[in-house]
Chains A and B, each alone.
Chain A
Amino acid sequence: MEKRKITYREAVNQALHEEMERDEKVICFGEDVASYQGVFKVTEGLLSKFGNDRCFDTPIAESAIVGTAVGAAVTGLRPVIEIMFMDWIGLTVDCLVNQASMMHYLWDGAVTVPMVLRTQGGAGSSGCCHHTKSMEAWLYHIPHMKIVMPSTPYDAKGLLKASIRDNNPVVFIEQKLLYATTGEVPADEYLIDIGTADVKKEGSDVTIVAISKMVQEALEASNELEKEGISSEVVDPRTLKPLDMETIGNSVRKTGKVLIVNEAFRTGSVASDIGIQIQEECFDYLDAPILRVTAPDVQPPYAKSLENLWLPGKDTIKEKVKELVSK
């Protein structure tokens, strides 16, 4: 199969183009997604190709964007909306929690809510408190809502296309620093099943479960650790909900040691929850306590030097892996 090297940004953009071409019910709206073509240029070319009916800008009113999307979804469209910066997801939570995620259940299956909420999380660009946070744990808590967090162009494209075709509300969380990263993507169409994790690198001594951009950090750490004789397996859940505990469990049962890496705040993080699920399913296989690498429970600083201290990455991962395999 022919493959092309493209950026993560291009992968998301291609998925949007292809799905809007495939299905005229797919529409796209949000702040600056149309004429500005997205603050990260992810929606480039959509307005000119599909017109203002299917791609349009909205006021800076996050709750209105989501409310509109829920209404459009239950009445037959498949909206893909963008919440510019995940830090503002709080403004949409009521509509997501009390409407989007519940409606299929409340109406006894009579309606579905096939919408995708795209947003960007993650730190590393001196975005300070309002443009840096990873708030997936807030939504992770809510039943009946899928959460996708791809780490590569390949995963981003395949998973976004699958998300758009899914009849449930899907929160699709991109990472700002990943947009410029590149990876090979098939020229032909492909989909990735939501709920399938991916072993990004095989190893035998320790399992690193990493989420979103932390996958790249984990892979770098893993490569460096390999030179020191430590073999680590990097597992990317790709979707947090549903979580592929089978793949994660298989890896943990193989290595007996696990580190979970998540750049969100530590307390109540998805990392914490994955940890307890591993403990429940793999207790008898564990050879060391489950460890986490997360951001600390303090607001992300603006100063680059301080943000670097705050943000978990390759070095912290290496340190913790060594702790796990230490004698």
Chain B
Amino acid sequence: MSRIKEAFGRGKAFIPFLTCGDPDLETTLELCKAIEDAGADLIELGIPFSDPIAEGPVIQKASLRALSGGVTTDKIFDLVDKVRKTVRLPLLFMTYANVVFSYGTERFVKTATEIGIDGLILPDVPFEEKGDFEPICKMYGIDLISFIAPTSLERISIIAQEAAGFIYCISSLGVTGMRDKINSDIDKMIGLVRKSTTVPTAIGFGVSTPEQAAKLAEKSDGVIVGSAIVKLIEQYGRDAVPYVFNYAKKMKLAITK
């Protein structure tokens, strides 16, 4: 059984996101350990891209901080190698098509697999373009994660039928970032997914409070939290580890209830 499938088998999944190298790679390593200890079920590791078109200001700024600190794809591969020495959770890379393509898609996926990556999330690769990436991911045994959005409608069943790992359900219109309210008809989205596949669903974009997370976890198999964590790292820098630990613990508790 794949590590991703196993993780969803334990109950509602809490999936935190970190930008690798923000504020530095050593802190990212510490954060991965702390997040696992806090009860997270999977970890999304962002490889920063200069122009992340699906991100709001919080993750945009984190990407720039990491890149100006000299982080590169190769340095992140070294980091994950270290993370894997202690962290057992499924790890997914979240980045943009050009980061993978320019490295050489096969070379990227092969290396990622060797260091223990379980999945790949590319927000600028929709269903129509996955042919550049998915066959190679399959060949090396990692999951290319599919997205659905509130605008997907009749596309949902086509996307869901071919989905692997889990389905990333975008909660709202717009880019990543904290929102007071999530207004989309999540039940309808998830309902349409359920008609086509048993692959688990996780909801992301805009989730920051335990109350929101608890509500969304009722509707799906997991909750993804990015900007709220990155905001803590922006605020506390190298001292962020205990703050992120406490936050992650609170969120995990909220969705487990």
A binds B: no
Q: Which B residues form the contact surface with A (CB < 8 A)?
A: none
